Amino acid sequence: MKDHHKDSSVRLQHILKAIEHIEQFTTGVSEESFVKDTILSSAVLFQFSVIGEAVTYTDPAILEKYDYPWYKVRAFRNMIAHEYFNIRLSSVWRIILQDLPGLKATVQAIMENSLHL
């Protein structure tokens, strides 16, 4: 029998690692540089895909305990995968600045409170 609790723990660790990568990639970078640098923006978008995929495979019973718009994380992953050329990098930059810290804090809270890691 599959241990969904353990699987979710691993997925949440993947989310935190991807967030760390995004933070590392974008530290000291301006929005203008981010938008112009296709290698950087591609790397960041890949990490957002990792985050969305990990959320998709995290036990919904765990996620539902936390007031966070998880559907937006999954939808963003789908947009990256299926509507790549319609992505506005200035919007991605705003997500990095405005939404990523909240996601990180929520995932850390889940790891500390729900999974006892």
Q: Write out pLDDT tens, residues 43-93.
A: 999 999 999 999 999 999 999 999 999 999 999 999 999 998 999 999 999
- Please state, for a pLDDT cut of 70, what percent of the chain lies above it: 92
**Alpha-carbon span 60 to 78, nearest angstrom:** 18
Average pLDDT, the chain: 93
The DSSP result for 50-65, as a single string, is HHHHHHHTS-HHHHTT
Phi-psi region of 80 (alpha: psi -120 to 50; beta: other; left: phi over 0): alpha
Q: Residue with structure tokens 């007031």?
A: 67
At residue 89, the pLDDT reads 97
Residue 6: band (very low, low, confident or very high) from pLDDT cuts 50, 70, 90? low
Write out the residue range of the structural domain in which residue 78 sits: 4-113
Cβ atoms 22, 47 nearer than 8 A = yes
User: What SS3 state is found at 28?
Assistant: coil
The number of folded domains in the chain is 1
